Amino acid sequence: MPDSLHDLKSKVDNFKEKLENVAHLSWLGLSKDLSSGMSQPFWHKKSSPRKMETHHKRVYERFMKFTKVHVSDEVRRELRKQSFDNWQWDDPEMLILLRQMYIDLNLISKLNIDINVLHEWLYEVYRNYNLVPFHNFKHCFMVAQMMYGLTWLIDLPSKLDTLEIFTLLTSAICHDLDHPGYNNAYQINAKTELALRYNDISPLENHHCAVAFDILKKEKCNITRDFSREQFKRFRDGMIRCILATDMAKHNEILNSFKSIIPHFDFNDKEHKSVLMMVLMKVSDISNEARPLSVAMPWLDCLLTEFFNQSDLEKLEGLPVAPFMDREKVSKSSSQIGFIKFVLLPLFETVGKLFPQLESAIIEPVRDALAYYTEMQRALEEEKAKKDSLAESLEGDKNGLLPGKLNSGSGTEDKEPTGKTQSLGHALALTRNNSSNLRRGSVTLLTSKHSVELETSPS
């Protein structure tokens, strides 16, 4: 290698090393801003298998480096909160945080888990999540983090045994392994290999669970290595139940069986505990809207991106398309209003009967989210009505029905200076940035707390 090139390479290596060292600073505070590196969503990274391998290797190296770093008490406290912001942390850091959950729940010491085996297992789990918009490693992390937060909030260590706590956290981490980004309906309608293998019965969830046990079969990743036969059986039964419970086709069945035991719930009853574990999995899996808006909104974008990718493919392949996934029929607000009203709140409120602590921690935030999306929907409809009436007026004008009214340069749109806010009630105001935005159908919603750019659906 010529000297000048060698010199340049060593400078680049040096700079890379410095950058990685700066990354350590994030352990000192909680406000690391990675937004500059996020100009493109992570699933847009087009990667060849070789590039992926290199990327994984780098994640592994950074993760291993971080295992030597102490996680501050402040971060450990934050990790227990429902408001935890995953967007501030990158993948190696999230691996460290998952590791910390096992440590802080005393699972390592009580179940005699080799910490190096835990590292290998976590990395292998990470590698088995795909770069899809929603069902990726970050989602696995968030579900595990919610489960971890709930564990402390409702004091599970005093109600469940160590193996059950281990089963819950491990199920949360493994529950979407190798998700392809297309749901069960697609698998079944497209007659994919997974649907054939599992005879159309929860093909994805069966697959996630099978991959989880495949990973544990590797000796260097086997965190259950020291379990007795009885412990492993109990863990395996629990994992299978918890992961299969995340199939939304089972939603009503599980919720109803939980409702029926609430009046006489007994923490000494194995079956009661098992149903509770399934319900906690479900709560954690669909809990994004219990998070602050700044955390939840990007997740909704990810979810809708995955939905729309699927429905686009279904249209191309001539397969049935679910209306809630169809970009022609769904908006953020319509999607969330239905989901929160008919799925989230009935589930969360039922669990809240057994654990009143959930009221302020996750039920109230979900009610706030419902109010927010309801206002968003109202604003969209109002905007659409205005657009429709403007279009009608213009049409009438073209036909000579409204002489001079709109082309006099004093139409409603032109009268209002750019950025003027029109009141839409106390919680929310609708601002038009400028007339070109209006034409594109884009509005900005300003609430007392948040500001959100909206794309209205084409009319």
Ligand X SMILES: Nc1nc2c(ncn2[C@@H]2O[C@@H]3COP(=O)(O)O[C@H]3[C@H]2O)c(=O)[nH]1
Give the nearest distance from C-beta 300 to ligand X in angstroms.
Answer: 6
Q: Which of 26, 136, 202, 336 binds ligand X (CB under 6 A)?
A: 336
Residue with tokens 């005699």: 112
Q: Which of 102, 137, 198, 339 binds ligand X (CB under 6 A)?
A: 339
Alpha carbon distance 325, 126 (integer Å): 27
Instruction: Please write down the long-range contacts of 301-306, taking CB distance under 8 Å and 24 or more positions apart.
Output: 302/41, 302/133, 302/134, 302/139, 303/133, 303/134, 304/330, 304/332, 304/335, 305/41, 305/43, 305/133, 305/134, 306/132, 306/133, 306/134, 306/135, 306/181
Q: Does 183 bind ligand X (CB under 6 A)?
A: yes
Q: Does 171 bind ligand X (CB under 6 A)?
A: no
Q: Are strands 428-431 and 421-423 parallel, antiparallel or unpaired?
A: antiparallel
Give the nearest distance from C-beta 240 to ligand X in angstroms.
Answer: 17
Q: What token pair was written down for 397?
A: 């004008």
Q: What token pair was written down for 220?
A: 């260097």
Alpha carbon distance 348, 120 (integer Å): 35
Q: Does 289 bind Zn ion (CB under 5 A)?
A: no
Q: Which of 151, 170, 187, 288 binds ligand X (CB under 6 A)?
A: 288
Q: Which of 90, 289, 314, 383 binds ligand X (CB under 6 A)?
A: 289
Alpha carbon distance 120, 126 (integer Å): 10
Q: Does 190 bind ligand X (CB under 6 A)?
A: no
Give the nearest distance from C-beta 241 to Zn ion in angstroms.
Answer: 16
Give the nearest distance from C-beta 285 to Zn ion in angstroms.
Answer: 4
Q: What token pair was written down for 112?
A: 């005699």
Size of the site for Zn ion (CB under 5 A): 2
Q: Which of 164, 205, 285, 314 binds Zn ion (CB under 5 A)?
A: 285
Site for ligand X in 350-369 (CB under 6 A): none
Judged by beta carbon, residue 192 or residue 231, the one nearer ligand X is 192
On whether the CB atoms of residues 63 and 71 are closer than 8 A, the answer is: no
Sheet of strand 451-455, all strands in order from the earlier edge strand to the far edge: 421-423, 428-431, 442-447, 451-455
Piece of 92-100, 194-202, 284-292, 445-453 that binds Zn ion (CB under 5 A): 284-292
44 is in an annotated binding site: no
Piece of 94-102, 271-279, 333-341, 407-415 that binds ligand X (CB under 6 A): 333-341
46 is in an annotated binding site: no
Which of ligand X, Zn ion, none interacts with 245 (beta carbon under 5 to 8 A by kind)? none
From its phi and psi, is residue 72 left (phi > 0), alpha (psi between -120 and 50) or beta?
beta
Give the nearest distance from C-beta 192 to ligand X in angstroms.
Answer: 15
Q: 450 catalytic, yes or no?
A: no
Q: Which of 6, 24, 44, 135 is catalytic?
A: 135
Instruction: Please write down the long-range contacts of 392-395, taking CB distance under 8 Å and 24 or more positions apart.
Output: none
On whether the CB atoms of residues 121 and 222 are closer than 8 A, the answer is: yes
Binding-site positions read 135-139, 175-176, 285, 336
User: Which residues are catalytic, by number?
Assistant: 135
Chain residues in the site for ligand X (CB under 6 A): 135, 183, 246, 248, 285-286, 288-289, 300, 303, 335-336, 339
Chain residues that interact with Zn ion, rule: CB under 5 A:
176, 285
